[in-house]
Chain A
Amino acid sequence: MINVLQQQTNRFKSAIVKECVREIVRERLSGLRYDPEEVPELSRSLAEGIKDKVKDAGFDRYKLVVQVVIGEQRGQGVKMSSRCLWDADTDSYAEDVFINDSLFCVVAIFGIYYY
């Protein structure tokens, strides 16, 4: 029923996903200043872009959930954490953080195996 072999070969690899995310986030956000009017659209498009890119990476048995949080950096403290109910054997997540002088961006991708 569960193709274990496939599972093993085509697993959600955090490192690869993280690299994808890092690349796209660096490209889109470097040197950007926080603009409250642009950020909602930006985060949405960023999430779409990341999702598409990760889909291309070929985790075809995975449902992807992409969460992008962009916030302004004004010296405040920020804590983000996540908790999942999932099958730890197959499901995984990747996260990447981008920070510049003006904003921080946290991208979390959860890959849920689709049996």
Chain B
Amino acid sequence: MHSDKKITKEDTWRPADLRKHIREEDRGDPYANRRDDNERKHRGGESIERRHRDPERESRRQREKPRERESTRERRDEDKKDRYAERRKEGSQDRRGDKERDREKRRERDRFKDENKHGDIYRENRDRKQDREEKHKRERDKERQRDKEKEKVRERERHNEENRDKRREERDKERRREERDRERERERRRHEESGERRRDQSGKHHREERDRHKYDYEDKRNDKEIQERHGDRKHSERKEERECKEKHKEERERRHKERGHYEEKRKHDGESREHRDLKGSSEEVRHHRGDREQTEGDKHRDRRHRDEEDTERKRRERRHRDEEDVQRKHRERRHREEGEPEINNRDKTNSKKSSSDKNDEKNMVETEVANDEDLADQKYEDDFEDYEEDFEEMDESTNEGEDEKELLHPEVGEEREELTARRRKEIEAIQRAMDEENERVGTVQSRQSTSREEEDGPKWSKGSEKNENRASQRGKFIDFVAAKQREVSKKVATKQKKRSAELLRLIDLDFSTTVSLFDLPPVSEYDMYIRNFGTANTKQAYVQCNEDNADRDVQTEEIEMCEKWTQHPPEHGGACGDPNLSLEARDKNMNDMNFDSQRLAAFLRSASQVMIVLLEEDQAERKSLRKLNSQTDTLSFSDGSLQLNTKLPFLYGRQISLLHFSQVQRHTMMSIHMPTMKPSAVRLDSCTIICIWNIWEPSRPQKVLVYESEVQCCCFSPGKAILVFAGTSVGSVVLWDLREHASNHYSLKIGEDEWTFRQPTFSTDAVMAGSGHFSSVTSVEVVPSTVAGAIRPEVPLLASEEELSGLSFQLASLDESGVLNFWVVVELPKGNEAGSPTDLGLRPGGKVKLLHSSSLLTAERASPRGAMKTGPLQSLLLKFLPTDSNHFFIGTNMGLVNHGTSHGLKAPPKFYRCQEVGLRPVDITSVHFSPFKQHLFLVGCGDGSIRLHAVSHEQPMAEWTDGTAGEPVVSLQWAQTRPTVFCALDAASNLHIWDLLKNDTQPVVTERMNADRVTAMALFGDSGQQNTYSGIALAHESGKIEMQYFTRSLTASSSAEEEKLESMMTEAF
């Protein structure tokens, strides 16, 4: 092909054109490179299209040439038009190809515009400014080049086989040239920068350049019109083509706009391009104009010359050539589309012509550019053309070398047309190879595009052909870069393919077994719950039921337990560790423990007493009935009697010295059994035993009290009989707390019965030596707490109050020497089992003790004379006024009862004496206050006289001196139920009962008991509403105690009795 081109160029082109053409080439080189770069950047993967376009470009260029060329080329255009017409006739194949080409052309043109943007400035600057200079240089360069190329051509002719290598060398040379050009360019650019044109104007330049391009189009059109005016046969066809072309141009522009903002800018600029052109680029324009004018000067001349001289010849030639070209091209295309076979058929001339044709085309393009330059319009299209050419030169460098060489031939002569056979063959070979490739791709491409093309319709067909030519022309250079790249990539690909093919033979690809990367089982609701809330204050507990888990261990077996021992006291049976005790019993016991033991104990105590009393009564009644029968004979006053069981081993042989009844608990009596000289079974001989009796329970004493020495006197505590006080012959005062538990005392089993002998709770023995008594205590008496005259017997329940309020009362004790001691009875809240370290007289565990309060010496001499006569005064008895505890009365051995007060003024009378004037040594043996008239008291004397005193008078109310027949009075007591009755026991064991109401001069009853002497007696009785009884307890010498109940006459009181006493008082005073 290229060889053809060369030939035709040589044929048709004149030397001047060629020169211009060559200059263009030179100038274009640097841009070509630049564009190459751009292409490489912008188009990575369009290699197929590019390659495909190679032939199309050529044809397109051929077609375009007429349009763009000036008048000199008109003929050629016409020829081409002929050719088009012919081609159109030849069939749809061509058209289709043309259409494809057309489209491609359009596309490529668009692309070019993009690319040209970058290069435009430089290019145009250079073009405009230094056109002339460049031309000279270029001409020089071209001439040089031409020379070189000529030489090379010759060499190549010699070494046809080595063509390619040489071409490469040529290419290198061209590159060198291009580099040189580039350097020049750079210099130019520098000039420009320093010169009028500024960088900041570049935008404008751009616009202007673009505008210029537009103008170029118009110019071209004008050129064409000119060509049309020159007018030949194909004029109308050409017009049509041009219209189409214009449409295409518009399309192109539209596409440009669509492509990007650059394009848009351009578009906008295009709208205002004329204004700008006029205003902004005046310099440029001027410059251009200048250039143009200058160049035009030459070129117009050339053109004119050419036009005039060559038109006819050229037309002829062109027509001739075009016809040939058309035929050839048609053939070629057919070759491409149908395959290789035709290539073989092609004769040498054909191939030669086609190649020359192509060369011609190329040259035409080049000249066209040169003309454009000459015109100095610097058309947009020209720029493209330049680039295309540059690319052609770059890409098709293999061919170019030849082309350029052969370009020279036309100048030399037309003999070159007849190339050597060798050469032709070579060219043919190359051509064939190219065709093959093109066809291969072309078929693919055409197939793709046909469908689209057909839609465009016939209207487009002509124009499209032309445009396609252009497009193909443009696509040509792209193809080669891509081809290279593709070649490389294909190489790599094939290499890889080969490698992979080989590898795959060696490698077995297999499916791996499905690998489970992750398997997270779903969490059950329960686990989720536990996970979320399981740790928050909850605990998971497991329950096992025996039935459900038959095979699992169940820890529900009975635990064997055995009670081995206990530390509790043995009286609690439930806690004593008896393994045989059932749980129920233990529980019961536990329940019992929960009872109010105090209340229970109290209840049991009282209940048992009641029961015992009832039983005793029953028994005693039977006895007494029996005895009554016997005793009624002896005792006239007795209504019946019962005997206390004193036949106890420890009481055997003891004489009873004293009997005493409690004033509150009238049925409680105590008897003092004197120590005995006779040995007995019980070793308590030297001890005094005090028995506490309940008169209704005569079988046995309730309590047995023991004291080591002789007890002289005793008394009960006020209120309930819980304390017993005693004064001893050794001068101590002792007390017993009857509430103490029996276990705390020494118990002795005598016979069948067990007896508890209670030691005194508190004793002043040697403890209070300083404040105690130094002589035997003759009397102990409770100081009445009530100052007011409350009647005690009528308040029997007072005891409980006292008990509750605690024991707080005073005790007075009188010894023989007349020392009166007052003691305070104190009850400790808690007993100390270990014994008190401070209260040495307190028995361990005892809770009641005596505190010494005060001491009083009462032994005043009544009269000095009497004292001298009778010796020291002895205090024998102590009594307190029941209504006023401040007053105490002490019976002396001088027959007087001293009256004293414990504190305050002394109250008259000072003492109470008998009616006889003068003192006589007579012991006062007993003093007793009347329970009814508490200011009256009886005094019994040792001489057997009995006096009745009123507290207020010194003299007695009445005095009976012969009542006992001279026998000393042992005991004298008022009866408890009758105010006027009292009893007196004399030493001769005669009991005298006085009833003042009946007889106030002598006793009404006198009983003599000679068989068993009575050593002590006490009156008892209760004036209670339901059961009024009274009696006398008689202690016999033998040790038995007999209770004699008074007859009704002695028991039932009358109102007259007190009046009797009153009258007696008034009588006496």
Contact = CB atoms under 8 A, between A and B. Distances in A.
A binds B: yes
B503 A1 contact: yes
A79 B518 contact: yes
Interface string A27-43: 00000000000000000
Interface stretch (A17-25, A45-53, A56-64, A81-89): A81-89
B516 A86 contact: no
Interface in B478-525: 499, 502-503, 506-523
B554 interface: no
B528 interface: yes
Contact of B522 (A75, A89, A108): A75
A81 B503 contact: no
A53 B512 CA distance: 25
A80 B519 CA distance: 6
Q: Which of B516, B518, B519, B528 has the most chain A CB within a 10 Å cutoff?
A: B518
A93 B503 CA distance: 22
Q: Which of A73, A84, A97, A99 has the most chain B CB within a 10 Å cutoff?
A: A84
Given A81-B515, A83-B512, A115 B503 contact: yes
Contacts of B520: 73, 76-79, 99, 104
Interface residues of A, number: 27
Nearest to A76: B522
Contacts of A2: 503, 506-507
A86 B510 contact: yes
Nearest to B522: A77
B521 A80 contact: no
Contacts of A87: 507-510
Contacts of A97: 517-518
A77 B521 CA distance: 5
Q: Which of A69, A97, A115 has the most chain B CB within a 10 Å cutoff?
A: A115
Interface string B56-90: 00000000000000000000000000000000000
Given A75-B528, A115-B503, A104 B512 contact: no
Given A76-B522, A77-B522, A86 B509 contact: yes
Nearest to B513: A83
A82 to B, nearest CB: 5
Contacts of B518: 69, 78-80, 95, 97, 104, 106
A84 B521 contact: no
Contacts of A88: 508, 510, 512
Interface in B402-445: none
Contact of A82 (B509, B517, B519): B517
Interface in B139-190: none
A84 B512 contact: yes
Contacts of A84: 511-512, 515
A79 B506 contact: no
Nearest to A97: B518
Contact of B514 (A76, A82, A93): A82
B509 A1 contact: no
A20 to B, nearest CB: 17
A95 B517 contact: yes
Chain B contact-residue range equals 20 to 34
Contacts of B511: 83-85
A24 to B, nearest CB: 17
Contacts of A73: 520
Contacts of B516: 79-81
Contacts of A69: 518
Contacts of B503: 1-2, 115
Main secondary structure of the interface of B (DSSP, over half): mixed
Q: Which of B516, B517, B521, B522 has the most chain A CB within a 10 Å cutoff?
A: B517
B517 A80 contact: yes
Contacts of A95: 515, 517-518
Given A84-B512, A85-B509, A88-B512, A79 B502 contact: no
Nearest to A78: B520
Q: Which of B499, B515, B522 has the most chain A CB within a 10 Å cutoff?
A: B515
A46 B515 CA distance: 22
Nearest to B521: A77
Nearest to B528: A75
A97 B528 CA distance: 21
Contact of B519 (A78, A85, A86, A93): A78
Contact of A83 (B508, B514, B519, B528): B514
A83 B513 CA distance: 6
Contact of A81 (B508, B514, B521): B514
Interface in A66-114: 69, 73, 75-89, 93, 95, 97, 99, 104, 106, 108
A13 B520 CA distance: 26
A95 B519 CA distance: 12
A69 B518 CA distance: 10
Given A1-B503, A2-B503, A75-B528, A81 B509 contact: no
Given A75-B522, A86-B512, A1 B502 contact: yes
B432 to A, nearest CB: 38
Contacts of B506: 1-2
Interface string B521-552: 11100011001000000000000000000000
Contacts of B510: 85-88
Interface string B352-388: 0000000000000000000000000000000000000
A43 to B, nearest CB: 14
A15 to B, nearest CB: 16
B529 to A, nearest CB: 10
A73 B521 CA distance: 11
Nearest to B529: A75
A15 B940 CA distance: 132
B517 A108 contact: yes
A61 to B, nearest CB: 13
B523 A75 contact: yes
B7 to A, nearest CB: 52
Q: Which of A75, A93, A95, A104 has the most chain B CB within a 10 Å cutoff?
A: A75
Interface string A1-12: 110000000000
B515 A106 contact: no
A81 B503 CA distance: 29
Contacts of B522: 75-77
A95 B516 CA distance: 10
B620 to A, nearest CB: 96
A47 B44 CA distance: 32
A108 B880 CA distance: 120
A64 B516 CA distance: 19
Nearest to B519: A79
A91 B93 CA distance: 55
Interface string B839-879: 00000000000000000000000000000000000000000
B448 to A, nearest CB: 34
B127 to A, nearest CB: 53
Nearest to B506: A2
Contacts of A1: 499, 502-503, 506
B920 to A, nearest CB: 121
Contacts of B515: 81-84, 93, 95
A95 B509 CA distance: 21
B510 to A, nearest CB: 6
A115 B505 CA distance: 13
6 closest cross-chain pairs (CB), A and B: A77-B522, A75-B523, A80-B518, A78-B520, A106-B518, A80-B517
21 contacts: A75-B523, A76-B523, A77-B521, A78-B519, A79-B518, A79-B520, A80-B518, A81-B516, A82-B515, A83-B512, A83-B515, A85-B511, A85-B512, A86-B510, A87-B507, A88-B508, A88-B512, A89-B507, A97-B518, A106-B518, A115-B503
Interface of B: 499, 502-503, 506-523, 527-528, 531
Interface of A: 1-2, 69, 73, 75-89, 93, 95, 97, 99, 104, 106, 108, 115
Given A80-B517, A85-B512, 15 more contacts: A1-B502, A69-B518, A77-B520, A78-B520, A79-B516, A80-B518, A81-B517, A82-B517, A84-B512, A85-B509, A85-B510, A88-B510, A95-B517, A104-B518, A106-B517
